């Protein structure tokens, strides 16, 4: 079961509240720092990509920097918000892109937010970028168990807050699934190493080859440190309990990928079936193909329910790996102790299960066999709490091996997949950032970071209408003949293409507003407006008690118009209205989410 979220206030609280019945929010201030709930709600409503990013990355901020040729600044924005820009710019699950305003009905395709992140890393000038700390040494020590994205993001945030951090990792090198799971052909190792160096440069110590629970126990870490963060991922494989499961040739996919990532190869047969439809399934299939096998992926649901990185299915298809949907295994059939086929049954999609995905229902009489010599199970992983010493295990963990949903011991925190179950890099990083706010509050007894909406006047948007017609830039890839276990498939945008792609962004952090005192109701802005409802002629706007717009009455006749109003929900920030207005009645402001140390009053 997932852990209960850390209670943090500010931006996070506003996020929880945003499902409230109002939909259009004004800001609480004209300029400067604003931190009323409605300010955060403005950000939520107007910058859909940032809302969808679990690490709240300032996406319009970095895309505008790339557009202006400031790739280094774009990298720093990403680094601050999501810790691993060059890694995520390659393999992020990209929950932001389906939400992008550019992909809304009739507006074309979403901006390539993820690949642009990679461009910021590819074209920055400095080799290593090390952030400034928020606070001097606090004198507090924190131990982190696990050096995956959650453990390292936690360590980085703790170091910025001035705490002394030691990360313990049982593997011989740090990085968690970035290093042990994801293949090199999707994520070159020097990219991970560089971004980890930016964390150790802040004083974080990473101790590898040290499994907590062996010579050092969690109890000892808790005694010797002011706090402990458990970020041990999901290393317990879900193995299918089917007849024939003891036969040779059946292996969990994570184990297979780990061997390839550690040794550069793995033994695999000639006919491989990968069972599953997530990240591990895709990587197993593409890796087994590169080892010379004929590969097929079998998945019990449909393509819609697959949890894979966008574009990966297309690459799978391009590499010639078939996927058989709506089939589930029934039994492994063996000969001389080895699997020689799998019996499958076809499924149809039923009602949604607790994950929200539709449940596969078996179709009676539809059994069939697939010949195979190697089965790679990509059927999920769970948190493994068996390393927690007995003194603490019953307090922290459930009998089924998951952590208890509530925090049982005050100084022991949990972050990333270990807390919430298998997710994605950006989910793990986002959760670690939230966790560290709670750790810092526990250590220092006060909230030391404040989130706010930073409101700045802007003279022009920098956008012109032609930018809306710029097509999505294609990602260059290497040819099929060059693809092996180590050659990176995606090559990244060229510098010019990176600027072209970034200029497609509407800059949703811009707020266009008509000053009613200046407006002469000439309608020129409406005549040039590209959207049917971005500028409305209104009889009246309706507000709630907090001053938020909750509705409006359209003026049907000319003599009913009391207000010309910009509907920010429909506005694509083209700037056409500003250029057309004869009396400069339309102002532009930039509204960004910012985080700063709380200033002590003198």
| Pairwise CA distance, residues 562 & 123, whole Å | 50
| Residue 349 in contact with ligand SF4, rule: CB under 6 A | no
Q: How far apart are CA 417 and CA 39, in angstroms?
A: 31
Q: How far is the CB of 186 from ligand FAD (least distance, A)?
A: 7
Tell the smallest beta-carbon distance from residue 168 to ligand FAD (Å). 5
Q: How far is the CB of 429 from ligand SF4 (least distance, A)?
A: 19
Maximal CA-CA distance, the chain: 89
CB–CB of 524/564 below 8 Å?
no
At closest approach, how far in Å is the CB of 432 from ligand SF4? 23
Identify what 535 binds: ligand SF4, ligand FAD, none; CB under 5 to 8 Å per kind.
ligand SF4
Which residue(s) pair with 374 in the sheet?
272
Closer Cβ to ligand FAD, 308 or 577, answer by number: 308
Q: Which is nearer to ligand FAD, 151 or 575 (CB)?
A: 151
> Of 206 and 581, which CB lies nearer to ligand SF4 in the complex structure?
581
Q: Is 101 in the site for ligand SF4 (CB under 6 A)?
A: yes
Binding partner of residue 522 among ligand SF4, ligand FAD, none, CB cut-off 5 to 8 Å per kind: ligand SF4
Binds 566: which of ligand FAD, ligand SF4, none (CB < 5-8 Å by kind): ligand SF4
Structure tokens at 47: 């910058």
Where does residue 102 fall: left (phi above 0), alpha (psi -120 to 50 degrees), or beta otherwise?
Answer: alpha
3-class SS at 207?
strand
Is the separation of the CB atoms in 517 and 586 below 8 Å? no
Q: Which does 100 bind (CB under 5 to 8 A by kind): ligand SF4, ligand FAD, none?
A: ligand SF4
Q: Which of 580, 587, 590, 594 binds ligand SF4 (CB under 6 A)?
A: 580
Mask 82-121, x = binds ligand FAD (CB under 6 A)?
---------xxx----------------------------
Q: What residues numbered 59-78 form the site for ligand SF4, per CB under 6 A?
A: 59-60, 63
Closest distance of CB 187 from ligand SF4, Å:
23
The residue among 114 and 230 lying less far from ligand SF4, judged by its C-beta, is 114
Distances in Å between the alpha carbon of 134 and those of 61, 78, 128, 447, 573? 21, 17, 19, 13, 34
Tell me the number of residues near ligand FAD by CB under 6 A.
Answer: 41
Closest CA relative to residue 347, chosen from 410, 296, 299: 299
Nearer to ligand SF4, 252 or 509 (CB): 509
Who's near 170: CB < 8 A, 6+ residues apart?
208, 209, 210, 211, 212
Measured CA distances, 588 to 23, 54, 457, 528, 575 (Å): 21, 28, 6, 17, 9
**Stretch of residues binding ligand SF4 (CB under 6 A), selected from 219-227, 231-239, 367-375, 514-522:** 514-522
Chain residues 279-338 in contact with ligand FAD, contact rule CB under 6 A: 279-280, 283, 309
Pick between residue 15 and residue 170 the one whose CB is nearest to ligand SF4. Answer: 15
Q: What is the CA radius of gyration of the chain?
A: 26
Assess contact for 54 and 576: CB atoms under 8 A.
Answer: no
Q: Are 422 and 234 in contact (CB under 8 A)?
A: yes
Residue 309 interacting partner from ligand FAD, ligand SF4, none (CB closer than 5 to 8 Å by kind): ligand FAD
> Which residues on adjacent β-strands are paired with residue 306?
none
- In terms of Cα–Cα distance, which of 499, 513, 517, 489 is closest to 567? 513
Nearer residue to ligand SF4 within complex by CB, 299 or 506 = 506
Indicate which of ligand FAD, ligand SF4, none lies near residue 489 (CB less than 5 to 8 Å, by partner kind).
none
The rounded distance, in Å, linking the Cα atoms of 579 and 585 is 10
CB of 400 to ligand FAD, least distance (A): 18
Residue in 273, 274, 535, 536 binding ligand SF4, rule: CB under 6 A? 535
Minimum CB separation from ligand FAD for residue 68, in Å? 29
Binder among 49, 65, 165, 182 for ligand SF4 (CB under 6 A): 49
Three-class HEC string of 120-160: HHHCCCCCCCCCCCCCCCCCCEEEEECCCHHHHHHHHHHHH
Please provide residue 543's backbone torsions phi and psi, each rounded to the nearest 5 degrees. -120, 155
DSSP state at residue 4: P
Q: How many helices (H) and strands (E) does the chain have?
A: 20, 23
Helical packing angle, 113-122 and 71-82, nearest 10°: 120
Q: Contact with ligand SF4 (CB under 6 A): which of 100, 184, 187, 306?
A: 100
178-204 burial: b if 16+ Cβ within 10 Å, else e? bbbbbbbbbbbeebbebbbebbbebeb
Binding of ligand FAD by 530 (CB under 6 A): no
208 in contact with ligand SF4 (CB under 6 A): no
The residue within the footprint of ligand SF4, chosen from 506, 511, 549, 593 (CB under 6 A), is: 506
Return the H-helix or E-strand segment holding 434. helix 425-444
Closer to ligand FAD at the Cβ: 244 or 421?
421
Check residue 104 for interaction with ligand SF4 (CB under 6 A): no
CA 94, chain centre distance (Å)? 6
Q: How far apart are CA 242 and CA 255, in angstroms?
A: 19
Only one of the segments 65-73, 125-133, 188-196, 513-521 lies at the binding site for ligand SF4 (rule: CB under 6 A); that segment is 513-521
What single-letter DSSP state applies at residue 412? E
Among 147, 225, 341, 507, binds ligand FAD (CB under 6 A): 147
Q: What residues line the site for ligand FAD (CB under 6 A)?
A: 91-93, 145-151, 168-171, 176-177, 181-182, 211-213, 231-233, 235, 254, 257, 279-280, 283, 309, 387, 416-418, 422-426, 428
Q: What residues line the site for ligand SF4 (CB under 6 A)?
A: 47-49, 59-60, 63, 100-102, 111, 113, 505-506, 508, 512, 514, 519-525, 529-531, 534-535, 564, 566, 571-577, 580-581, 583, 585-586
């Amino acid at each position: 079961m997932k852990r209960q979220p850390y209670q943090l206030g500010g931006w996070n609280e506003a996020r929880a509240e945003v499902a409230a019945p109002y939909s259009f929010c004004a800001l609480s201030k004209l300029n400067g720092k604003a931190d009323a709930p409605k300010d955060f709600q403005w950000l939520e409503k107007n910058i859909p990509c940032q809302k969808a990013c679990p690490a709240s990355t300032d996406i319009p901020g970095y895309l505008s920097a790339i557009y202006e040729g400031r790739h280094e600044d774009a990298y720093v924005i990403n680094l601050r918000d999501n810790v691993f820009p060059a890694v995520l710019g390659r393999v992020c699950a990209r929950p932001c892109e389906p939400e992008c305003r550019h992909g809304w009905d009739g507006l074309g395709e979403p901006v390539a937010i993820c690949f642009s992140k990679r461009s910021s890393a590819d074209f920055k000038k400095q080799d290593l970028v090390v952030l400034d700390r928020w606070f001097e040494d606090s004198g507090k020590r924190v131990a982190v168990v696990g050096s995956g994205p959650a453990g390292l993001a936690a360590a980085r945030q703790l170091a910025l807050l001035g705490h002394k951090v030691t990360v313990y990792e049982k593997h011989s090198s740090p990085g968690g699934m970035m290093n042990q799971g994801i293949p090199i052909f999707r994520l070159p190792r020097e990219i991970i190493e560089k971004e980890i160096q930016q964390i150790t440069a802040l004083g974080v110590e990473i101790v590898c080859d040290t499994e907590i629970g062996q010579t050092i126990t969690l109890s000892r870490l808790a005694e010797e440190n002011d706090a402990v963060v458990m970020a041990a991922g999901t290393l317990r494989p879900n193995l299918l309990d089917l007849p024939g499961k003891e036969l040779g040739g059946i292996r969990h996919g994570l184990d297979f990928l780990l061997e390839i990532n550690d040794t550069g190869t793995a033994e695999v047969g000639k006919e491989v079936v990968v069972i599953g439809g997530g990240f591990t399934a895709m990587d197993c299939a593409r890796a087994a193909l590169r080892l010379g096998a004929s590969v097929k992926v079998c998945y019990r649901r449909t393509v819609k329910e697959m949890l894979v990185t966008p574009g990966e299915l297309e690459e799978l298809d391009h590499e010639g790996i078939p996927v058989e949907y709506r089939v589930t295994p029934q039994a492994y059939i063996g000969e001389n102790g080895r699997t020689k086929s799998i019996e499958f049954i076809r499924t149809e999609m039923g009602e949604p299960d607790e994950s929200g995905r539709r449940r596969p229902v078996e179709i009676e009489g539809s059994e069939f066999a697939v010949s195979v010599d190697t089965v790679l199970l990509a059927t999920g992983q769970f948190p493994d709490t068996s390393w927690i010493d007995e003194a603490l295990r019953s307090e922290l963990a459930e009998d089924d091996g998951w952590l208890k949903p509530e925090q049982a011991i005050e100084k022991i925190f949990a972050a990333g997949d270990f807390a919430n179950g298998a997710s994605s890099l950006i989910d793990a990083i986002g959760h670690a950032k939230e966790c560290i706010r709670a750790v810092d509050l526990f250590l220092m007894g006060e909230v030391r970071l404040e989130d706010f909406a930073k409101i700045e006047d802007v003279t022009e948007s920098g956008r012109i209408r032609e930018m809306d017609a710029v097509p999505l830039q294609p990602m260059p890839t290497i040819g099929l003949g060059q693809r092996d276990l180590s050659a990176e498939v995606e090559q990244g945008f060229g510098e010019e293409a990176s600027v072209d792609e970034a200029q497609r962004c509407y800059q949703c952090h811009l707020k266009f507003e008509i000053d009613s005192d200046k407006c002469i109701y000439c309608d020129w802005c409406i005549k040039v407006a590209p959207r049917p409802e971005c500028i409305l002629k209104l009889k009246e706007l309706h507000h709630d008690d907090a001053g938020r717009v909750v509705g409006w009455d359209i003026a049907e006749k000319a003599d009913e118009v009391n207000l010309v109003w910009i509907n920010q929900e429909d506005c694509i920030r083209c700037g056409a209205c500003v250029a057309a207005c004869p009396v400069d009645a339309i102002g532009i402001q930039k509204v960004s989410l910012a985080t700063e140390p709380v200033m002590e009053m003198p």
